[in-house]
Amino acid sequence: MPALTLALHRLGQSLWIDTITRAMLDDGSLAGMIERLGITGLTSNPSIFNQALHGTAAYDDAVAEKVRRGLSGESLFFELAIEDLVRAADLFRPIHDRTGGVDGWVSLEVSPTLAYDARRTIDSALDLHRRAARPNLFIKIPGTAEGLPAIEEATFAGVPVNVTLLFTCEHYLAAAEAWMRGIERRIEAGLPARVCSVASLFISRWDAATASLPRHLANTVGIAVGRQCYRAYRDLIASDRFQRLANFGALPQRLLFASTGTKDPSLPATFYVDALAAPHTVNTLPEKTLLAFADHGAVTGIVSAGGGNAEETLAAVERTGVDLDAIGATLQRDGAASFVKSWHDLLAVVEEKSRATAGAGA
C-alpha cells in the first residue's frame, strides 16, 4: 500500500473509489486497487454508469439476455447495476466484516427523478436493498428537504443509506437528524440500532461556483465548508444524544467528502485530498485523483476537530458580498437537476443498446 494511503488509513480516513465498470470487475482491476492502493469502498451514480455503458461492448451480452426476458428502461438498468455492485460488494466484504461494518461499502442510487418524492424514494430504496441482498450495500438518497423523510424511514426499516447531494453544514445536520430519528425509532421499537450510514458532502463544486472571488480567497470555500462540517460532525458524535444511540450499538453516520476531484486545471489533482485528511471520515475519489494521490500526494496536516480556520475563511468570503446559503441551495438544486439529466442520458444509452442487441438477435 502506498505510504500516503497507509497514513490516511492509520489516522482513520477511508479512501473509496468513485467509479465502477464491468470491465474493472472482469479484468481484476478493482481487486487490484483494493490490494495495491488500499481502497476500502466504492460509490456509483448515473453518470458513472452512463460512462461505463457508453461506447463499450462489456454489457452487450447481459443487455441482450435481459431484453429477451422482456426488460427495458429502468428495470433493465437496475438489474445491470445490481449485478455489478453485488460483485463489488463481495470483493469488499472481507473489509466490511473485519471492521464490524464501519468500512467496505458500495453504493447504489435510487432514480434521481425521485429526489422530490419521498414516498416513491422509500419504496425504491427498500426494493433495491432487498434485491441486492448484501449487508454492505448503501442505497443513495438525496439530502433534499423532500428526501429527509425517506432517509428517516429507510433507516427505520433497516436500509443503510448514503445521503447524497449535501453542500452546506445545514444540509449535513439535517441529514444527520433524519438518520438519528430513524435509529431512535428503531430503539423504541426494540430493533437493533446498528443501521450504518454516510453523509456525502460535495466539495469541489463550491469553488467552481465561487470562481469570481478575489485571488486570496480563490479555491478556499470547498475546503472551508468541508472543515466546518467536520467540526459539526465531531460535535455531533460527541453529543449525549449520539452517545445514547452508541450505548444501544449504533455506529456513527460517517462524514464522507465527495466530489474531491479538482475542476480547476490550475490546481494540483490532489488538492482536496491533501487538505481534508480528517480522522473518522471517508474520502471518495475519482480513479485519476486516487492514482495521483498514491503517486505524489502531499497531506498538509490533519484537520482538527474544531475545523481549523474554516469559520474565519467563510466569514471573509461573505464579507465580499457572497451569499453562501443561497449558493448552497442553488448547488443542491442544480446537482439534483444534473443527476436527472445524467439519468435520462443513461436510459437513452440503455435503450440504444437494447435496440441494437434486439436487432442483432433478429
Please spell the DSSP secondary structure of 189-257, one letter per residue: TT------EEEEEE-HHHHHHTTTS-GGGTT-HHHHHHHHHHHHHHHHHTSHHHHHHHHTTPPP-EEEE
What are the strands, taking DSSP E only, across 33-160?
106-109, 137-142
**In terms of residue numbers, what domain contains 337?**
3-361
Active site residue 263: no
What are the strands, taking DSSP E only, across the chain?
14-17, 106-109, 137-142, 161-166, 197-202, 254-258, 281-285
Counted domains in the chain: 1
pLDDT at 16: 98
pLDDT at 360: 62
On whether the CB atoms of residues 167 and 206 are closer than 8 A, the answer is yes
pLDDT at 202: 98
- Measured between alpha carbons, how far is 208 from 126 in angstroms, rounded to an integer? 35
Catalytic residue of the set 140, 288, 341, 353: 140
On whether the CB atoms of residues 52 and 116 are closer than 8 A, the answer is no
- Measured between alpha carbons, how far is 308 from 306 in angstroms, rounded to an integer? 6
Q: Kindly report, residue by residue over 49-95, the tens digit of the pLDDT.
A: 998 888 788 999 999 999 999 999 999 999 999 999 999 999 999 99
pLDDT at 362: 44
- The low-confidence residues of the chain, meaning pLDDT below 50, are 362
pLDDT at 311: 97
CB atoms near residue 339 (< 10 Å): 22
- Measured between alpha carbons, how far is 326 from 159 in angstroms, rounded to an integer? 32
CATH number at residue 161: 3.20.20.70
